[in-house]
Chains A and B, each alone.
Chain A
Amino acid sequence: MSMKRTAYDLTKTAMMLALALILSIVEAWLLPRGILPIPGFKLGLANVAILVTLYSVGRKEALAVAVLRSVVVLAFGGNVIGFLFSLVGGVSAWAVMSLLSDFEHISVYGVSIAGASAHAIGQILVAILVTKTVYVIGYLPYLVLTSAFAGAVIAFLTIPVVKALDHIGNEMIQ
């Protein structure tokens, strides 16, 4: 059973990594270019995958999804700046989410909203470092608000996925 469980965890992580990759592409495709003021900025749909992994597999695996997603996108012909954006954004989202998920009275919604905000802040920090201009901080409130709203939607999407994965797991073991 334990081996089955490990295998299932691995499968779930791999599935989520695949989902994260798809969502990275889908997001670039959904949001027309130039609609967000900073090129390469993402609202973080791929956070769904990190969040699901966090809730149904574990913290380390969630970090792995966050990091590997950026690496694979880079390997598939992304640029270095986009890689930095998604890496720093993803890791800060992961850090905040894995920390807040421990708190009583904070549900998936709170975790996801905070994670999405951290995702936005991480990306702005990269933008500041890349352009060496602090001025891009002016975009931050708008981007955080949009991201936070996206975060709430993401939490809503996460719940059925986590439940479904549990269901499959139970059936598999019995």
Chain B
Amino acid sequence: MSLRPQTKKQDKNIPTEKAPASFLWKRVRAFAVFCLIFSLPFGFLTGCSYEKKTTRSFFALDTYITITLEGKDADEAMNVAANYIMELERKLSRQDPESEISSLNLSSEGSPVTLSKETYDLLSLAVSYSEKTSGRFDLTIAPVMDLWGFGTEGAHVPEKSEIEKILPNVGYTKVHLLSDNKAYLEEGAKVDLGGAAKGYIGDLLMEKLSSYSLSKVILDLGGNVCCRSRSSDLTIGIVSPLSSDALCCTYSLSSGSSCSVITSGAYERYIEEDGVRYGHIMDTSTGYPADTDLLSATVIGPDGTKGDIYSTTLFSLGSEKAMELASSECLDCILCMENGTLWVSQTLEGKVDAQEGWTIQYFG
């Protein structure tokens, strides 16, 4: 009995409440606001951690391509990447008679061809690297390659006279770069950018994809790997030249950085005749497969074009000269020897793990 009046008295001190008509509505509103407040941080969290992952594989650039993307823009970026590869293939393929490279191979001093910016840039890069390696890498090796026919049905060991006849046509000085993206080749010369194109395309793709919100990008252009990861470390296996289903070592890429890993070796494309193996990497001065004690050479670095070109060059040089060149050019590389030794650049110490049967030795 005494409680009631007291509570009434207290109620007076509370500012008058509104009519009970809006009672239910107010409750609902309060509840809604409450749920909103509570769900906000979690919406934010899931928004951050929500990672789409897509993988697409297809045949292009004469090889099998696998792209793996992870992140918010994965789907959109995947379409862009696939279309870009197709576009670049149309420009750079030597097999496609419509491509810019094919028209360049038909050009002459009198009739230079105008190239797209991408093709021209790659061409000038290839020429400057040919110069730098003093012709060890040569983009005009195409006529000799045609003679051997690696990877085609007519693959055979050519006659020595055939090679000698065609060798004068090889030489990067026969490529002439003019201004305004124009270029022409001297009579008889032909270019094949196969030794640099995949690395270059990888570089272009990585650049193109950098504007998308992606936490992980792995491009596998037929074994030429370009990758970057923001979320976790990546482990890149480097295939053993002795057996295609084993690895010789792994390279771990710490999160936040990007790199391209490119291997050259003669263990995939070769001709076997009379018990002799002829690998597909040529010594540009003789027109015969490079005489090397290496099984494969892998270059790891930020620049895919450089990596692609130098892995070929290092392989063809053989272990001793390769180590010299790698040291002077500051290349991070892994050289695979027949006796199971992996010569690894000192700068890669701690990042490379040998698989069973392989031992690591550092140089440089």
Q: Main SS of the interface on chain B?
A: helix
Question: Does B45 lie within 8 Å of A134, measured CB to CB?
Answer: yes
Interface flags for A64-94 (1: CB within 8 Å of B; 0: not) read: 0000000000000000000000000000000
Asked if B41 is at the interface (CB within 8 A of a chain A CB), the reply is: yes
B41 / chain A contacts, CB cutoff of 8 Å: 121-122, 125
Asked if A153 is at the interface (CB within 8 A of a chain B CB), the reply is: no
Asked if A118 is at the interface (CB within 8 A of a chain B CB), the reply is: yes
Asked if A22 is at the interface (CB within 8 A of a chain B CB), the reply is: no
Question: Does B26 lie within 8 Å of A99, measured CB to CB?
Answer: no
Q: Which of B29, B30, B37, B45 contacts A96 (CB 8 A)?
A: B37
CA distance A168 to B205 in the complex (A): 72
Given A134-B45, A134-B49, decide whether A105 and B30 contact each other with a Cβ distance below 8 A: yes
B26 / chain A contacts, CB cutoff of 8 Å: 103-105
CA distance A128 to B27 in the complex (A): 33
A14 / chain B contacts, CB cutoff of 8 Å: none
Interface flags for B118-159 (1: CB within 8 Å of A; 0: not) read: 000000000000000000000000000000000000000000
CA distance A99 to B34 in the complex (A): 10
Closest to B49 in A: A134
A100 / chain B contacts, CB cutoff of 8 Å: 30, 33-34
Question: Does A99 lie within 8 Å of B37, measured CB to CB?
Answer: yes
What count of chain B residues pass the 8 Å CB interface test? 14
Asked if A48 is at the interface (CB within 8 A of a chain B CB), the reply is: no
A121 / chain B contacts, CB cutoff of 8 Å: 38, 41
Chain A nearest CB from B256 CB (Å) reads 12
Chain B nearest CB from A84 CB (Å) reads 15
B45 / chain A contacts, CB cutoff of 8 Å: 125, 128, 134, 137
Asked if A46 is at the interface (CB within 8 A of a chain B CB), the reply is: no
Q: Which of A104, A114, A118 contacts B18 (CB 8 A)?
A: A104
CA distance A104 to B41 in the complex (A): 25
Question: Does B37 lie within 8 Å of A104, measured CB to CB?
Answer: no
B34 / chain A contacts, CB cutoff of 8 Å: 100, 114
Closest to B37 in A: A96
Chain A nearest CB from B70 CB (Å) reads 16
CA distance A117 to B38 in the complex (A): 9
Chain A nearest CB from B179 CB (Å) reads 51
Q: Main SS of the interface on chain A?
A: helix
Asked if B17 is at the interface (CB within 8 A of a chain A CB), the reply is: yes
CA distance A128 to B42 in the complex (A): 12
CA distance A134 to B50 in the complex (A): 12
A161 / chain B contacts, CB cutoff of 8 Å: none
B17 / chain A contacts, CB cutoff of 8 Å: 104
CA distance A137 to B48 in the complex (A): 14
CA distance A64 to B39 in the complex (A): 26
Q: Which of A105, A122, A137 contacts B27 (CB 8 A)?
A: A105
Looking at B29, B41, B45, which has the most chain A CB atoms within 10 Å of its CB?
A: B41
Asked if A26 is at the interface (CB within 8 A of a chain B CB), the reply is: no
Asked if A36 is at the interface (CB within 8 A of a chain B CB), the reply is: no
Chain B nearest CB from A92 CB (Å) reads 8
Closest to A124 in B: B41
Chain A nearest CB from B20 CB (Å) reads 10
Asked if A38 is at the interface (CB within 8 A of a chain B CB), the reply is: no
Asked if A106 is at the interface (CB within 8 A of a chain B CB), the reply is: yes
Closest to A166 in B: B13
Interface flags for B151-194 (1: CB within 8 Å of A; 0: not) read: 00000000000000000000000000000000000000000000
Closest to A134 in B: B49
A114 / chain B contacts, CB cutoff of 8 Å: 34, 37
B23 / chain A contacts, CB cutoff of 8 Å: 105
Q: Which of B18, B27, B33, B38 contacts A99 (CB 8 A)?
A: B33
A118 / chain B contacts, CB cutoff of 8 Å: 37
Interface flags for B307-330 (1: CB within 8 Å of A; 0: not) read: 000000000000000000000000
CA distance A142 to B29 in the complex (A): 27
A103 / chain B contacts, CB cutoff of 8 Å: 26, 29-30, 33
Residues 25 to 72 of chain B near chain A (Cβ within 8 Å)? 26-27, 29-30, 33-34, 37-38, 41, 45, 49
A117 / chain B contacts, CB cutoff of 8 Å: 38
Chain B nearest CB from A75 CB (Å) reads 28
Q: Which 9 A-B residue pairings sit nearest by Cβ, starting from the closest?
A: A103-B30, A104-B26, A125-B41, A121-B41, A134-B49, A96-B37, A104-B17, A105-B26, A106-B30
Chain B residues engaging chain A, CB cutoff 8 angstroms: 17-18, 23, 26-27, 29-30, 33-34, 37-38, 41, 45, 49
Known pairs A103-B26, A106-B30, A121-B41; list 4 more (Cβ under 8 Å): A99-B37, A105-B30, A118-B37, A134-B49
A–B Cβ pairs within 8 angstroms, 16 of them: A99-B37, A100-B33, A104-B18, A105-B23, A105-B26, A105-B30, A106-B30, A114-B34, A117-B38, A118-B37, A121-B38, A121-B41, A122-B41, A125-B41, A128-B45, A134-B49
